[in-house]
Structure 1
Amino acid sequence: MIIKINTDKTLNGEERSADFFTSQIDEALERFESHISRIEVHLKDENGKKDGFNDISCLLEARLEGRQPIAVTNQANTVDLAVTGAIDKVKSALETIVGKIQKH
């Protein structure tokens, strides 16, 4: 499973953060690893460098083997919360999809 993290120019895409999020995603989606070929994470600050409420957006796209990709978004006050929320949403969606695959 390949994990690629993209940030807009207003967010600091530190390598330490990228490594942290990569390991967090890898750990959370480990049981779906055989179904996922690639995960793309897109982080952006909705209103630039200004402070705002829930202005950090995380789009998480999971590319599944032999199926259409699924994408979820989550907005929060911090990058950590945005990524964590998106991971929870994609995990829930994957549980549904993989559950349907295994029933057939």
Structure 2
Amino acid sequence: MDFQFNTGNKVDGDARMDEHFETRFRERLERFEPRLSRIEVHVRDTDGTRRDGPDGIEAVIEARPYNGEPLTASDKAGTPEAAVNAALQKLVTRLDATFGKADRVRK
């Protein structure tokens, strides 16, 4: 499974952040790994320099199954870590539902 981490130009993303999230994703998605070709994470600042809201950072995660349509999940939070973690939880729920249904149909 390939992993790609992208940040907008207003979000500080460095190699440590990329490595941290890749490790976290590989741990959380381990059981789905044989079915996924790629994970892309996009983190961006949605309110620019106006820092008055708690939901100024958005994370969008796209999981690409080998034989299926891409699945996405997103969330907003005050920090990149919180936004990514919330979106990851949503993605795990979607993957459970999608692959669980596919497994039941195959039987």
Band the TM-score falls in, shorter-chain normalisation: over 0.9
Secondary structure of the residue aligned to 1:37 is: strand
1:40 Cα offset (Å): 0.3
Which whole-Å CA distance do the structure 2 matches of 1:2 and 1:78 have between them?
24
Could you tell me the TM-score, scaled by structure 1's length?
0.96
Unaligned runs of 5+ in 2: none
Secondary structure of the residue aligned to 1:54 is: coil
Which whole-Å CA distance do the structure 2 matches of 1:17 and 1:49 have between them?
21
Q: How does 1:82-93 map to 2 (within 5 A)?
A: 82-93=83-94
Unaligned runs of 5+ in 1: none
Q: Deviations over 1:8-49 (max 9, x none)?
A: 000111110110011001110000001110000000000113
2:68 corresponds to: 67
**Amino acid corresponding to residue 102 of structure 1 in structure 2:** D
Number of aligned pairs? Answer: 104
Secondary structure of the residue aligned to 1:73 is: strand
Which whole-Å CA distance do the structure 2 matches of 1:73 and 1:84 have between them?
10
Q: Deviations over 1:27-80 (max 9, x none)?
A: 100000011100000000001133122110000000011100011111011111
**Amino acid corresponding to residue 84 of structure 2 in structure 1:** V
2:10 corresponds to: 10
Corresponding position: 1:94 with 2:106? no
Runs of at least 4 residues off by over 2 Å: none
Secondary structure of the residue aligned to 1:95 is: helix
Which whole-Å CA distance do the structure 2 matches of 1:89 and 1:99 have between them?
15
Secondary structure of the residue aligned to 1:85 is: helix
RMSD value, Cα: 0.8
Instruction: Calculate percent identity across the aligned residue pairs.
Output: 34
